[in-house]
Chains A and B, each alone.
Chain A
Amino acid sequence: MSDAAPLVLGIETSCDETGIGIVRGRTLLSNTIASSMDEHARYGGVVPEVAARAHLEALQPAIEAAVAEAGIRLDELDAVAVTSGPGLAGALMVGVGAAKGLSVSLGKPLYAVNHLVGHIAADLLTGDDVEYPTVALLVSGGHTSLLLVRDLVTDVEMLGETMDDAAGEAFDKIARILGLPYPGGPEIDRVAASGDRDAIRFPRGLSRASDMATRRYDFSFSGVKTAVARWVEQHEDEGVDIADVAASFREAVVDVLVTKALDACARHDVPRLLLGGGVIANRRLRDVALERAAAAGVAVRIPPLSLCTDNGAMIAALASELIRSGRPESTLDFGADSTLPVTEIQVGVGE
């Protein structure tokens, strides 16, 4: 194997995207994604069993498409990588089964890795020089996490995460309250464009002084969700300006995300912030983060959106870094771990 630039295929099935990525070292060769989002639209959210069925259907064609795009043969691979967790258990297991089948078939090492750390590794595929330590804010429909990355393959610390809904879920739920379709993020963004973000002051979750002592870097979106629902109910007789509600809600979420992320940068004396996860598509979140970070002297990195949403390339990229740093392959007996802690960067590491 080329330890400097290993050829790795990554499989990611933790939520509703079947992601197959192929990298050579830090060079991206393919980032193939099959999404089952449309199938979830009529349910207003990701249905785990629907997602798992779709993964099984999509895997083989997605692997074939990725291999064709990368212009490689499977037997040329140096390793196979897969997400072991966190994520939806039934969905993860489809990827784990496939990765093991492929690894044994090819006789190539298998690296089982952490989904959240994969989001951080995606940044390496931009071709830029990436510096650590960095604070990372990962926001999607499945997770909302604030991490301190001292070293990608050895030292990632969870500073805080959501206590209830992921930010993306909150957008989906508010969209439903406002009569907007799924997925809610882009819809809220669209409607909010013509709204006044200062029209209504919705609560910022876990931002009181007392929270700062105990839950400084954790998030909660249930309070703002309830506040929006109550506001809409109280004002439905006089007619609700959906644009103002959407803009004000979005502002509350963005404010708390950016405030906590930059607070983490300041308190840990880390002048770098990496943004990842599908909610990064939200224009207002990016704008506020860039503006306030600049004022605070923090450099913000935002990989292209195709690398921010769940994808297999980030899983391959993380495995590639593990190989480059001399880590042995995972043993074959790992499973899917829906609550895998972020400190377990690689899974199935022999004692």
Chain B
Amino acid sequence: MILGIDTSLGTSVAVVGSDGVVHAEVSRADPLGHAEVIGTLIETALANAADGTTGAGAPGPIEVTHVAVGMGPGPFTGLRVGIAAARAFALGRGLPVIAVPSHDAAALAVVLAAPFADAPRFAVVTDARRREFAFSVYDGLDDDALPIRVAGPSLTPRDHTDAALAALGAERRDTTAISAAMIGLAAGRAHAVGRVLSGPEPLYLRPPDVTLPTAPKRVGT
């Protein structure tokens, strides 16, 4: 089973079978407070999966084989909490970590919500703070049943978002929550065919906010 974690927007933790069945998913929408809730959510997701609470499986011990984690984009401070927790959880049990762009999970959710529709090209749009949005453009699923990302993730000023998406021919899908179950599902599909969806670096999209020092200010007399 795959333990999925995402803290790119709210905090979401899920347990997903290698067959794609979701055994548990618990989430908090709060865009802050990731550090406070992450431990309890992991514990609860594992307990719910073991209890068979969702009805997706018989009660029984859960053997986690992989940890999947959303790499953003998202506000950095919260994003790192989930990645740090995922890596440490994996380290504790000697498990591999599968990194997933968080927008890929959102795109998978969009497509799976209407699996038989001929979905138009669309853009997952999430809050990037500082009057900017992060977006990624998708165009259907590939042969591995993973969303095809044709542009992004990139940042755009809020006021320019519609124009940017129109230029890319993409319908706008504002997203306020990333599902850890979709993180786990995307990870499982990628892992099954040996594909890597993301590198180990979070998708920061922005350099650290620093200014190089200038000469010391004069204090005068």
Contacts and interface: CB of A to CB of B under 8 A. Distances in A.
B36 to A, nearest CB: 4
19 contacts: A49-B208, A52-B77, A53-B204, A59-B87, A93-B34, A93-B80, A93-B84, A97-B88, A100-B35, A100-B38, A101-B87, A102-B89, A102-B91, A104-B46, A106-B92, A176-B213, A229-B216, A230-B219, A333-B37
Given A94-B84, A229-B216, A335-B33, A74 B91 contact: yes
Contacts of A176: 213, 216
A47 B207 CA distance: 12
A2 interface: no
Contact of B85 (A44, A98, A173, A230): A98
Interface residues of A, number: 48
Interface of B: 33-40, 42-43, 46, 76-78, 80-93, 202, 204, 208-213, 216, 218-221
A96 interface: yes
B91 A97 contact: no
Contact of B210 (A49, A98, A336): A49
A99 interface: yes
B84 A101 contact: yes
A334 interface: yes
Contact of A43 (B78, B202, B213): B213
A243 interface: no
Given A176-B213, A230-B219, A60 B36 contact: no
A53 B208 contact: yes
Nearest to A90: B77
B39 to A, nearest CB: 3
A64 B76 CA distance: 25
A59 B76 contact: no
Chain A interface helix/strand/loop/mixed: helix
A97 B208 contact: no
A96 B35 contact: yes
Contacts, number: 137
A69 B76 CA distance: 32
Interface string A97-124: 1111111111000100000000000000
A274 interface: no
Contacts of A334: 36
Contacts of A60: 87-88, 91
Nearest to A178: B216
A173 B215 CA distance: 11
A64 B37 CA distance: 26
Interface in A293-342: 332-336
Most buried by A among B46, B83, B85, B209: B85
Contacts of A98: 84-85, 87-88
A50 B80 CA distance: 13
Contacts of B210: 43, 47, 49-50
